[in-house]
Structures are given as C-alpha cells and as structure tokens.
Amino acid sequence: MKKYNGFKKLKTAIFISGKGSNFNNLIKFSFKKNSPIKIELLITNNYKAKGLKFAKKYRIRKKIYKYQDKFKTEKKIISDLKKNKIKVICLAGFMKVLSKNFIKNFRGKILNIHPSLLPKYKGLNTHERAIKNKDKISGCTVHFVNSKIDSGKIIMQKKVRIFKTDTPKTLKNRILRQEHMLYPKAIQKVFSSL
C-alpha cells in the first residue's frame, strides 16, 4: 500500500452545502498514511450548513460565499483556491452547479459523490425516485465533474439493495454508509498517481 507523508499529500478543498457526513468522513480518511489528500479548505454556499462544525472541530479553514452572482462568486472561489495552493476538489453535497469556466481551472481534478447508480437518477430526490419505480437496486457513484449535472466520467460505483420495507430515509442512510467507504477508495484510485 502506498504511503504518503504530510508534504506529499495533495492540498484539497471540500465543497459542501449541508450535513457534511462525507466531509467528516473524508477528514478522517485524510489523516491516514495511505490517503493521497490533505484537506486544507472547506468551501460552502450555506452559512447554516451543519457540516461547518467539522471544520471547527478539526481546525480546517473555511470560506462561506453568498453566491448572489455566480460568475463573481466563482471568480472569488478560484482566487481563494489558488491562494491556498489547492490541487484537487471533492464535492460532497454541494448544491451549486460549477460553470465550464470554473471546471477548466481544475480539469480532471474535481470529483463528486452522488446517491444513485448513475446515469440513473441524476439530480435530486434519487431515493424517492428509485423506490417509486420499484427498483431492486440503487447505490452510489463517484464521478469526475463536468459542466452538466451528475454527468462526468464514472470512477467507481457501489450497489445497494432496496428492500420492500425501505423508505427514502432508510435507503438514504444505508447508501450513505456505502458512500463513506466508496469516496476514499475512488480518491485513492484517481489521485494516488498525481
């Protein structure tokens, strides 16, 4: 297994809008010797995001943006990322779509996790839709980010069975547990060679 010292790890920014369970999980992963990333910065568009508490707990620098004007906000974010020498970005429940111009600045360096087996169920309410359609299997996907929503190249997926008794909430929680295992694996897969 490849091991990294603190200096060799890639400076990483995590983008969130909500609870931040993936953020918390990635922080813990980043402390491990086999993690290629070191989390330097938390970016959010939501000053009420519950996940902000993890930035406080682990003393990770945070930036909150109002996002009144997308173009201006992205310009500011890019400048803050460059100032902090950020090399890779992991989106984890970030509810804004990044523009083509933004992505151009970090081509092949932005990942996202999505709670469905893409290309099925892009966008919101994935668990409700899977249950409504009587699917037997759902899951989660880590993919590269492009400017179309949930459409970039797929890196890894994990299937999760849907039970007859599932509600969107029970399914969400079961998939979330798998997300926490999948995201670190996908990060290792694509960023270990950088």
168 binds ligand GRF, rule: CB under 6 A: no
Q: Quote the least distance from Cβ 75 to ligand GRF, whole Å.
A: 24
CB atoms within 10 A of CB 16: 28
What residues pair up with 157 in beta bridges, in sequence order? 141
The pattern of x and - marking residues 86 through 115 that bind ligand GRF according to CB under 6 A reads ------xx-------------------xxx
20 binds ligand GRF, rule: CB under 6 A: yes
Output the CA torsion sign for 182, 24, 47, 106.
Answer: negative
Rounded CA gap, 111 and 23, in Å? Answer: 13
Tell me which of 4, 18, 80, 156 binds ligand GRF, using CB under 6 A.
Answer: 18
- Of residues 23 and 191, the one with the C-beta less far from ligand GRF: 23
Contact 32, 2 (CB under 8 A): no
- Write the DSSP assignment of 122-142 as a string of letters: -SS-HHHHHHHTT-SEEEEEE
Q: In this chain, which stretch among 1-9, 19-27, 38-46, 74-82 interacts with ligand GRF, using CB under 6 A? A: 19-27
Q: Of residues 115-154, which lie at the interface with ligand GRF (CB under 6 A)?
A: 115, 140
